[in-house]
Amino acid sequence: MLVREFISFQRGQDPKSTLGIGQRHLIEKWLEEHVHEANRCNITINNDSTINCAANIWFKSDNPIIQFPDYIQFNKVDGDFNCNDQKLTSLRGCPYYVDKTFFCSRNNLKSLEYSPKQVTNFYCTDNNGKEFSRKDLAKYCKVSYFIRLS
């Protein structure tokens, strides 16, 4: 018996993602589960699987993130990146560049390693009693204007 299936691939779309498999599909599914819907329309997944956002990114608080999966790496956010009120133990996967403000308060961070390389404003307070200094941040990040740490 011969079975023929018709799969409609859209021009410019990743065939694996169209089939619901592959890394791009994993990224899309993770973003759907963790990023507020209003922010997802501004997201682009680059050819190298990094993620850009043309506006703000705010994460849902009802499904807290302990760490970003290995396949999640934000690249550039042209707005705010708000990962407040999660359960993050590391900033690995956070964007390399944030055009406006990076928020990472009320998590379980032990260090500021993997902070954005460049950001305008940086807020990081109340991380399980861990206090960070400007010197801690300067090891990883160039901040243009305002910093608020512990």
What are the residue boundaries of the structural domains of the chain, listed by start?
17-149
> Residue 147: its pLDDT value, please?
85
> Residue 38: its pLDDT value, please?
80
> Residue 2: its pLDDT value, please?
56
Residues 6+ apart with CB under 8 A from 105: 84, 85, 123, 124, 125, 126, 127
- Give pLDDT tens digits along the chain (150 positions): 555 555 555 555 555 555 556 899 999 999 999 998 888 889 999 999 999 999 999 999 888 999 999 999 999 999 999 999 999 999 999 999 999 999 999 999 999 999 999 999 999 999 988 889 999 999 999 999 888 887
Q: Give the whole-angstrom CA distance, residue 109 versus residue 82.
A: 15
